[in-house]
């Protein structure tokens, strides 16, 4: 049988293409929202997954470095390595800085790596070689290979570029040696150190006479033996790997007896991340997507209704020559589905070009795309209903009017 | 051949109620034979279009009976599935061709057959015959907008005949055509009646082609009467 839907589309090709293009633009946004959500999850869990730790040890009663400030002594790793079943314990240092470079605001998440960082996805340059003053920067930081950046008191050179390494907040990550990362985190102006040292002496002077010994006083006043004015360098967490064949529960149980730390499995740390940081963004994106889907449905309904109104005379003629309702319903429904499917295809194709320009990572997952495709089919059917109802109410006699 | 193709008995059609009631059809009775072409004349508002739409099962009469091709289709209510019956037994031609603008001349004919479950091959074959009969073979692939008014009207007649109906109803089919083309279309309808053995009822104001009709009916104030050609 002659396909009326295709014939009509061919006859009104311009309008059909414009309609499809309009719907596809809406779908690009809907698809992008889903991709941003997936990207958010991926960015949020990226470092947890990449770190490959079995257990995250953080400051007591905190949720870890991604949720809040977590401060641990530098030597904690030694204590943990002594626990039976622990294969390795490595310090984790991560903090965010904001600098201006070439009149551009630069937000970077500084990540300390215990090795040369060769496990990172380096797309240009090389891994870290020197113990100090080198860094690997993510492509999104837009720091070219060989460029330098002053962080703390030192200047660091970009020796490698990584691909798609963003922090949970979407900032570009830079990777430095652990010591460099800690040095930047603990960087304090000289004046602050001098003032703290002075304050200590004042506190010492304020002590009651006889409560301190002469030796104690000599030690505090000596240039070589006095304690540091500021506390020692601290780390954010310790990443623990359990030896193969050993029970992670046993290691966890041991860690949980330590009064100054809290231990989470990697899955728990991931869950903390998703339920806290991502949950609100997820709701917001879901709301946006819902609104956009409703808007798409309304727009499609209006367009298809208008297309049907333009065809009422033809529909009356079809009824007059005896066309069954199914023929008319099929014509409207096929056009609606074709608009929906084509718009989805265009959105999928164009999205590949557009999404890389989004500031946040957009990750398209097959499952999400299939769900969206199902929704598009659903709204196409729904959108055609108004037109179909109008067509069904059209009397063959209207051909005479 | 003198078989009755269409008959109506005591047809009434009333619009409105009480003092404002208008009797568009007022006790109309007639019969038409197979292969007969009849002209229906009358002033505007006489009830011609009402009679045509009533016979075409587009609107029901208030009362009376209608029989088409030996089937009683209306007897104080429709006795058949009107869309199915219309599809198989009645063809329409209007003042405007009313062709589907997105289909070619051939497809406009085919669609009438294909909605009646004809196969693509059958519809193509018969559409080609009709197009040849109406001297439109060369315009087979033309869209309606690429055809002249006369050509469009011939395609419309071909479409009306696609399902070999027993009754063809034409509502001022020559009104939009010049006199030469108007005459040609009227002769075509006569030819259709005689060669396809279809009863053709034509509402017309065109007295110049009155000689092509076998009979002439006059409609006035909802009443139908037969006229002599001399009148």
Structure tokens given for A381: 């059917």
User: Counting beta carbons within 10 angstroms of the beta carbon of residue B97, is it exposed (0 to 12), middle (13 to 18) or buried (19 or more)?
Assistant: buried
pLDDT at res. B108: 93
Q: Does B209 touch chain A (CB under 8 A)?
A: no
Lowest-confidence pick of A35-44, A53-62, A142-151: A35-44
Structure tokens given for B166: 């027993």
More confident site: A335 or A276 = A335
pLDDT at res. A322: 82
B76: alpha, beta or left? (left if phi > 0; alpha if psi -120 to 50): left
Q: Does A5 touch chain B (CB under 8 A)?
A: no
Q: Where are the alpha helices (DSSP H) in A76-189?
A: 76-81, 178-185
Lowest-confidence pick of A100-109, A133-142, A228-237: A228-237
pLDDT at res. B94: 85
Give the confidence band of A229 by pLDDT, cuts at 50, 70, 90: low
- A213 CB contacts (<8 Å, ≥6 apart)? none
Residue B2 has pLDDT above 60, yes or no: no
Give the confidence band of A401 by pLDDT, cuts at 50, 70, 90: low
Q: Do B49 and A318 touch (CB under 8 A)?
A: no
Pairing type for strands B167-171 and A154-162 reads: unpaired
Residue B77, number of CB atoms within 10 A of its CB: 7
pLDDT at res. B64: 93
pLDDT, chain A, mean: 86
pLDDT at res. A223: 67
Query: Which strands, in side-by-side order, build the sheet including B63-68?
Result: B22-33, B4-15, B63-68, B71-75
Lowest-confidence pick of A99-113, A121-135, A191-205, B141-155: A191-205
What residue has token string 């059909």? Answer: A16
Residue A140 has pLDDT above 60, yes or no: yes
3-class DSSP state for residue A108? Answer: strand
pLDDT at res. A305: 83
Residue A265 has pLDDT above 60, yes or no: yes
Quick one: what percent of chain B has pLDDT higher than 70? 98
More confident site: B25 or A214 = B25
pLDDT at res. B230: 63
3-class DSSP state for residue A185? Answer: helix
Give the confidence band of A272 by pLDDT, cuts at 50, 70, 90: confident
> From the list A1, A7, A10, which residue is nearest B120 (CB)?
A1
ipTM for the predicted complex = 0.82
State the nearest Cα–Cα gap between A378 and chain B, in angstroms. Answer: 28
pLDDT at res. A204: 72
**Which B residues in the span 5-44 are in contact with A, Cβ-Cβ below 8 Å?**
none
Q: What is the CA radius of gyration of chain B?
A: 17
More confident site: A267 or A401 = A267
Residues A16, A17, A20: CA angle, nearest 5 degrees? 85
Half-sphere exposure at residue A54, Cβ-oriented, CA atoms within 13 angstroms: 18
| Number of helices (H), then strands (E), in chain A | 12, 13
pLDDT at res. A301: 83
Residue A218 has pLDDT above 80, yes or no: no
User: Counting beta carbons within 10 angstroms of the beta carbon of residue A356, is it exposed (0 to 12), middle (13 to 18) or buried (19 or more)?
Assistant: exposed
Residue B231 has pLDDT above 70, yes or no: no
Work out the angle between the directed axes of helices A4-11 and A13-51 (0-180°, nearest 10): 100
Stretch A224-237: mean pLDDT: 70
Number of CB pairs, chain A paired with chain B, less than 8 A apart: 73
- DSSP class of A37: H
Residue A188 has pLDDT above 90, yes or no: no
User: Counting beta carbons within 10 angstroms of the beta carbon of residue B94, is it exposed (0 to 12), middle (13 to 18) or buried (19 or more)?
Assistant: buried
Q: Are A136 and A162 in contact (CB under 8 A)?
A: yes
Residues A154, A157, A160: CA angle, nearest 5 degrees? 140
Digit-coded pLDDT (tens) for A153-169? 889 999 999 988 888 77
Residue A379 has pLDDT above 80, yes or no: yes
Q: Does B101 touch chain A (CB under 8 A)?
A: yes
Q: Does A283 touch chain B (CB under 8 A)?
A: no
Q: What is the CA radius of gyration of chain A?
A: 32
Digit-coded pLDDT (tens) for B35-63? 899 999 988 888 888 899 899 998 899 99
Residue A93 has pLDDT above 90, yes or no: no
Q: Does A280 touch chain B (CB under 8 A)?
A: no
Residue B97 has pLDDT above 90, yes or no: no
Residue A225 has pLDDT above 80, yes or no: no
Handedness of CA A83, A84, A86, A88 (dihedral sign): positive
**Which B residues in the span 119-148 are in contact with A, Cβ-Cβ below 8 Å?**
120, 143
pLDDT at res. B67: 93
Residue A205 has pLDDT above 90, yes or no: no
pLDDT, chain B, mean: 88
Q: Do A7 and B120 touch (CB under 8 A)?
A: no
Q: Which domains does chain B have, with CATH numbers?
A: 4-226 (3.40.50.300)
Residue A212 has pLDDT above 80, yes or no: no
Give the confidence band of B201 by pLDDT, cuts at 50, 70, 90: very high
Q: Report chain A residues whose CB lies below 8 A from the CB of B92.
A: 320-321, 399
Beta bridge partners of B78: B74
Residue A380 has pLDDT above 80, yes or no: yes
User: Counting beta carbons within 10 angstroms of the beta carbon of residue A102, is it exposed (0 to 12), middle (13 to 18) or buried (19 or more)?
Assistant: exposed
pLDDT at res. B95: 83
Q: Does A314 touch chain B (CB under 8 A)?
A: yes
pLDDT at res. A153: 86
Residue A368, number of CB atoms within 10 A of its CB: 15
A258: alpha, beta or left? (left if phi > 0; alpha if psi -120 to 50): beta
More confident site: A292 or A215 = A292
Lowest-confidence pick of A132-146, A272-286, A315-329, B83-97: A272-286
């Amino acid at each position: 049988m002659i396909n009326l839907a295709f014939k009509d589309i061919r006859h009104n090709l311009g309008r059909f293409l414009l309609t499809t293009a309009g719907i596809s633009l809406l779908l690009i946004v809907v698809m992008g929202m889903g991709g941003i959500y997936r990207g958010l999850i991926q960015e949020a869990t990226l470092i947890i997954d990449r770190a490959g730790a079995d257990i995250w040890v953080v400051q007591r009663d905190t949720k870890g470095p991604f949720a809040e400030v977590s401060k641990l002594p530098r030597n904690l790793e030694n204590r943990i390595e002594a626990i039976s079943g622990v294969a390795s314990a490595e310090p984790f240092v991560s903090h965010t800085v904001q600098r201006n470079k070439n009149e551009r605001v630069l937000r970077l998440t500084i990540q300390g790596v215990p090795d040369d960082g060769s496990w990172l996805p380096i797309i240009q340059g090389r891994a870290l070689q020197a113990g100090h003053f080198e860094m690997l920067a993510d492509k999104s930081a837009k720091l070219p290979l060989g460029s330098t950046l002053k962080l703390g008191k030192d200047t660091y050179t970009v020796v490698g570029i990584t691909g798609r390494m963003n922090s949970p907040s979407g900032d570009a990550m830079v990777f430095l040696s652990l010591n460099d990362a800690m040095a930047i985190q603990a960087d304090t102006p000289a004046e602050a150190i001098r003032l703290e040292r002075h304050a200590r002496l004042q506190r010492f002077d304020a002590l009651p006479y006889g409560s301190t010994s002469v030796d104690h006083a000599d030690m505090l006043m000596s240039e070589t033996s006095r304690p540091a004015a500021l506390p020692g360098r601290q780390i954010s967490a310790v990443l623990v790997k359990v030896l193969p064949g050993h029970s992670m529960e046993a290691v966890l149980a041991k860690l949980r007896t330590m009064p100054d730390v809290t231990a989470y499995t990697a899955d728990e740390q991931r869950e903390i991340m998703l339920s806290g940081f991502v949950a609100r963004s997820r709701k917001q994106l879901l709301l946006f997507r819902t609104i956009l889907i409703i808007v798409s449905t309304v727009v499609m309904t209006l367009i298809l209704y208008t297309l049907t109104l333009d065809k009422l005379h033809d529909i009356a003629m079809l009824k007059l020559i005896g066309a069954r309702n199914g023929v008319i319903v099929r014509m409207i429904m096929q056009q609606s589905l074709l608009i929906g499917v084509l718009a989805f295809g265009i959105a999928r194709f164009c999205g590949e070009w557009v999404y890389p320009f989004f500031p946040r990572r957009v990750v398209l997952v097959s499952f999400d795309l299939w769900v969206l495709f199902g929704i598009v089919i659903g709204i196409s059917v729904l959108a055609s209903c108004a037109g179909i109802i109008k067509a069904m109410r059209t009397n063959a006699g209207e051909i005479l009017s | 051949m003198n078989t009755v193709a269409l008959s109506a008995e005591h047809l009434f059609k009333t619009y409105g109620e009480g003092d404002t009631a208008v009797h568009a059809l007022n006790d109309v009775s007639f019969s038409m034979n197979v292969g007969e072409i009849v002209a229906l004349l009358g002033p505007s508002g006489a009830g011609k279009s009402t009679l045509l739409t009533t016979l075409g099962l587009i609107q029901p009469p208030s009362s009376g009976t209608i029989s088409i091709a030996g089937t009683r289709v209306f007897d104080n209510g429709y006795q058949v599935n009107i869309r199915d019956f219309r599809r198989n037994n009645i063809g329409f031609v209007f003042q405007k061709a009313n062709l589907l603008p997105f289909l070619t001349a051939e497809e406009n004919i085919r669609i009438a057959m294909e909605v009646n479950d004809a196969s693509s091959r059958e519809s193509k074959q018969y559409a080609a015959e009709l197009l040849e009969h109406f001297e439109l073979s060369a315009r087979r692939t033309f869209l309606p907008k690429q055809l002249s008014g006369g050509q469009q009207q011939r395609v419309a007649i071909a479409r009306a005949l696609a399902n070999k109906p027993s009754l063809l109803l034409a509502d001022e089919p020559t009104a939009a055509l010049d006199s030469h083309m108007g005459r040609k279309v009227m002769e075509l309808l006569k030819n259709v009646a005689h060669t396809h053995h279809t009863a053709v009822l034509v509402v017309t104001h065109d007295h110049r082609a009155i000689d092509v009709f076998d009979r002439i009916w006059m409609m006035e104030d909802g009443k139908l009467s037969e006229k002599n050609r001399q009148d």
